[in-house]
Structure 1
Amino acid sequence: MRDFSSMSLGSRNGPRTSSSGLYMGGSITAVTINQSLLAPINLDIDPKIQAVRTHEMNQIKGLNNRFATFIDKVRHLEQQNKMLETKWKLTQDQTTGSSNIEPMFQTYIKNLQRQLDQINNDKDLLDMENRNMHHNVEDLKSKYEDEIRKRNTADHDFVLLKKDVDAGYLSKVALEDRLAGLEEEVNFLKVLYDQELGELQSDVKDTSVVVQMDNSRGLDMNQIIADVKAQYEDIAARSREQAESWYKTKVESLAGQAGQAAEELRNTKAEIAELNRLISRLQNEILAVKGQKANLERPITEAEEHGEIAVKDARALIKDLEVAMQRAKQDMACQIREYQDLMNVKLALDIEISTYRKLLEGEETKFGQQSITNISTTKPCKFYHPNLLDAPDRTIISKVNILLSHSFTFEPCFTKAYTIDRI
């Protein structure tokens, strides 16, 4: 194997070194004679040369195998390229059908929204009824408190009237006692007057008195006593009548007030009982309304929960579909990028193949013009560059730059070569 590391493809007019080591220029040069060729040929075989040749042959075989693998890889990439082109055409030809899932979800969401609006309207109506009921309860509560205040006022008035009745009764008892005392006093005075009158009559009857008076008017003591007695009896009767009339008037007034208070108390008790019945009935109605409200709030809450769950599920499904669609778009974009990369690789490989072909044709032409003829017993020679073999995924421009700026290695693929020098 010969290494041309000191040569560059950029200088095509420069000198080149053939496989036999002779120098060739672009024009005819002077013929030089190597004096060492006139010396006797040493036919001794150096064992190191044989080992070097064996090592070179093994390297040549390995490089040939690598080049064959590279050719197989190129063919495989071409097949993949054709397959991707076919898939791309099929993908371009396919028409994406419209999905009916989104309208179904939209319809379902609209139905749930209508149900939610209806439930909200029912909730507003129930809230309004609840507020009205609370307002009525507050009114009845205020009325009940007013009646309680009236009852307390009536109880206070009843206590005051009872005190007045008790005071009147005590006054009546005192007046009765006074009347009894006055009657006893009148009876005592009557007895006393009768006794004094009897004593006076007895004294007058036994005594004769001669009275000289200037007037001729007579004095009738019986009449005077009768008049005094009548006056006292009249005074006692008037006092008794006045006391009895005052007592009767006071008792009648107190009895009327007590009857009025009792009537008011009965009316108040009846109103309180009616209010208690009304309060109990309203409390029962409030409990029933609260039960209805709880029964209505339960399905409303369940409907809201089901609606929220359904909306969440729908949104999650829509999100999953969007994610799947985005993933499909990303996969398609990745396939497109892979297709473009494969196309770039294909173009690079095409350029490399054409470059190798031109290089091989040029080398064969130049070998035909050289003064040394190489006779090979195996396949044609191959021309390769190590950097290109190790980097199959380089871009076209970088590979062309490698071809123009780096040296190449020429591998003659033969097992045994003979060199014939032209004389």
Structure 2
Amino acid sequence: MDSAGSPFRRVMETRSYYSRSVGSPSSGFRSQSWSRGSPASTVNYKRSVNVPVSRAHSTVESKEQLQGLNDRFAVYIDKVHYLEQHNQQLEAEIQALRDRQVSRTQLGDAYDQELHELRQALEQVHREKAQVHLDSERLEEDIQRLRERFEDEARLREDTEAIIRVLRKDTSDTELLKSDLDKKVQSLQDEVAFIRNNHEEEVRELLAQIQAAQVRVERVDTHKADITEALREIRSELEGHSTQNLQHVEAWFTNRYTKLTEAAEQNKDAIKSARDEISEYRRQLQSKTVELESVRGTRDSLERQLNDIEDRHSNDLGRTIHQLDNELKSTKWEMARHLREYQDLLNVKMALDIEIAGEGEAGEEGEKEEEEGGDKEEGDEEGDKGGEDEEGGDEGGEEGDEVVEETVLCSKAPESKASPEKEGSGGEEDAAEEGEYFVQNTFSDL
């Protein structure tokens, strides 16, 4: 637009100059048709230029020539107005495209932000997974320790049960020994009673014999008096032997009974302590079993939660990544399309700038020719000048035709570039790559 500013300024100055010198143009305008889709179309108008034949008609021909120039200039001015309006429309469209590009950039920023958030969420999931894995390993270690303790307790229980079996065997042996000792004590008591009874009977018999002997001794001589003394000694000796045997048997029985009673008491204490220890071990085993079941349930629950979290996050992440990839591809494709449209509009703008510059130069040449024609008063010179004006108009028309041809070529250039893309089988990825290429080229041009 900066390159086209000077031709617009010259055209406006020329229009103001002619409006002051000549006045408003008459009704010599021709209808013109412009199309936005074909900005390189030309304006069809007829130039009414009368070539003077003789010097007699020089004044009329000069007036007609001025009228034709006014008509042409009015057409140029009208065309310049239209081009200005069209240029403003193009500038508005370019600004809209730039705003849309900014919005696309913002969309890219939002996409990057969302992608960053998703990556952070993925890292958080990985951290949670690592934490759950560590917790699972810790639980495995705890379970292993509990299993080892359980095995130790089981071995200790087996040892305790073996000790209990030995103690039970000793207890049964002790009970058998006690019963045997009771039987022996009973037999010894019976034997003592029997011996005592026999001894008493013997004593009674001896006393009876002694009494009978005393009765006979009274009848015997005095030299037989020592028999009583001998019997008394025998009696005392027998009583001493029986008493000593009885005391010896009672002492042995008492000692044996005391030892057996002490052994039975010790065995009872050992059995009681063993039973208490067994009950304590059973209680600890039950508590450890309950704790082990609780830990197993916790581990199974954590494993199920970990699997559910992994499956859910994996599915969500896969869907999100697939959706973002599709959106990115569609965005790149749409960006490439908008950039192609923007390139087409830039080509149209360049063609319009070239055409406006060519028309401005043609208007300046016509202005110079009209000034030279107004200064000359002679008919031949006016006629010659009119011919030169016509030749200048023809040259301006030829230059306008050349500009139109260049504009058509420029407008066809992007179509020829875009047609292989439309006819080819590149797909969305080729469009996205082409969009990035257009973005880089466009921003480098701007």
TM-score normalized by structure 2?
0.46
Higher helix share: 2
TM-score normalized by structure 1?
0.48
Higher strand share: 1
Larger Rg: 1
